[in-house]
Chain A
């Protein structure tokens, strides 16, 4: 199956700093990638749809100025958590679609904000 990678896998930062997470499709081109957030023991919540060459589409309630998404190429999307606070600590997961039926998920990035 298709492979999606994320970097870093874990990050710890101080409150008020910004953190960038990369999502790459390794063996296919993805015009669309998705970003999810998952709190412990909870479901995956879709945050935004990342479209190559255009602005991301954010789900209701997700602050676009806080979670900056850039999809500069067909294999890379980045999520930047700006001015991070402890409540932003979570597991961030990206996915990319191949065809129309299946999304493949990256391994996730665990963010801890102190």
Chain B
């Protein structure tokens, strides 16, 4: 089976830096993705790590340590519009189907002025 753990809520002020952690236990592992979802909207892709290390995309960075089954999403220079739910998701290599994503429960980020 698949199990992903991430904090349920995080709050911060504008301009701050926030790190959202994700630990996972899966029967197979092909990569860790991060998605952002605003209320009532669809998830939008933020980043993907297949290998250990840090991936940087503008204000957002994502890190993966496969040996620790751990990753995080780092959001810098927070803006009000960053208030949303953030999901980590694992691609599971079980069977012959690639690309299936299994999501964590999501972290609700609230950014205060």
Contact = CB atoms under 8 A, between A and B. Distances in A.
B104 A101 contact: no
Contact of A34 (B41, B48, B99, B105): B99
Contacts, number: 54
A44 B103 contact: yes
Tell me if A's interface is mostly helix, strand, loop or mixed: strand
A104 B45 CA distance: 7
Contact of A57 (B48, B97, B104, B105): B97
Interface in A80-112: 93, 95, 97, 100-108, 110
Contact of B45 (A1, A44, A107, A108): A1
A102 B45 contact: yes
B7 interface: no
Nearest to B96: A57
A42 B4 CA distance: 13
Contact of A43 (B40, B87, B98, B99): B87
Interface string B36-72: 0000111111001010000000000000000000000
20 contacts: A1-B45, A32-B97, A34-B99, A34-B101, A43-B106, A44-B43, A44-B101, A44-B103, A45-B103, A46-B102, A49-B97, A49-B99, A57-B97, A95-B101, A97-B99, A100-B98, A102-B45, A104-B45, A105-B45, A110-B40
